[in-house]
Amino acid sequence: MDPYFEFLCRMGDNTLILGHRVSEWCGHAPVIEEDIALANTALDLIGQTQMWLGLAAEVEGKGRTADDLAMLRDAWDFRSALLVEQPNGDFGQTLMRQFLFDAWHLEMLKGLTQSCEPRVAEIAAKAVKEVQYHVERSSETVIGLGDGTEVSHDKMQAALNLLWPFAGELCTPDAVDDAMHAKGIAPDLTTIRTAYDTHIESVMAEATLTIPDSRFAHKGGKSGFQHSEHLGHILTQMQWLQRAYPGATW
């Protein structure tokens, strides 16, 4: 598979799967303001998906569209990181997952605005404005809940303990990441990791939460080698209409 196409799929699949996950809160959030905020976050992520997968389809050159890539690929063809596939759990777990992704996403997009590929730089420049809001909101919520009541603190610590082993994959380079960096298309993930760790440590300190003392990271999602069992269930919900009625249009 062309590394450039695969990289674009990674960016688009991450936002697609997380966008779908966040949308599951619509009508179920604890307060109306959070319900609206989560819905808006999901819409932002799906909008970014349209841009990334649209460019991926053009690069592939096989006549497929962003919708085809989103709705007609099977789980083993997806390149979403394991973190974004994880279940919502409670509200605190959802926001911890969001922050761990947002902190990486912001650094990656900032790096991509300097890409040698004009289209990549343009998409990143547009998306980074939305993600700056995402990370501001998710970090403030993590801090508020972590440094809140005893119950909220314990729930946020449990969420961090659960999700931390999935976060490392985002910053662990592989052959595709190395190829994109060598060509000047994407930033160096080791540099991203440094900025990511600094941001995470700062927020967790304010939230009075303890980062697990482990660098272990589950892997396999962004390479497509091994997804979590959750991805298949997500795709069953997300793709059923297009699968049941192939080619259906409004």
For 169-189, what is each residue's pLDDT tens digit? 999 999 999 999 999 999 999
pTM of this structure: 0.96
> In this structure, is residue 249 part of a structural domain?
no
The CATH number covering residue 100 comes to 1.20.1260.10
CB 146 within 8 A of CB 157: yes
For residues 5-12, give the mean pLDDT. 98
> In this structure, is residue 125 part of a structural domain?
yes
> In this structure, is residue 83 part of a structural domain?
yes
Count of CA atoms in the C-beta half-sphere (13 A) of 20: 23
> In this structure, is residue 40 part of a structural domain?
yes
Question: Which of these ranges, 99-108, 143-152, 199-208, 237-246, has the smallest mean pLDDT?
Answer: 237-246
> In this structure, is residue 147 part of a structural domain?
yes
> In this structure, is residue 99 part of a structural domain?
yes
Q: Of the candidates 64, 126, 128, 69, which has an alpha carbon nearest to the alpha carbon of residue 102?
A: 128
> In this structure, is residue 96 part of a structural domain?
yes
pLDDT tens digits for 32-70? 888 899 999 999 999 999 999 999 999 999 999 999 999
Structurally, how many domains does the chain consist of? 1
Instruction: Give the range of the structural domain holding residue 61, as residue numbers without chain letter.
Output: 3-210+218-244
- What is the per-residue burial (b if ≥16 Cβ within 10 Å, else e) of 77-100? ebbbbbbbbbebeebbbbbbbbbb
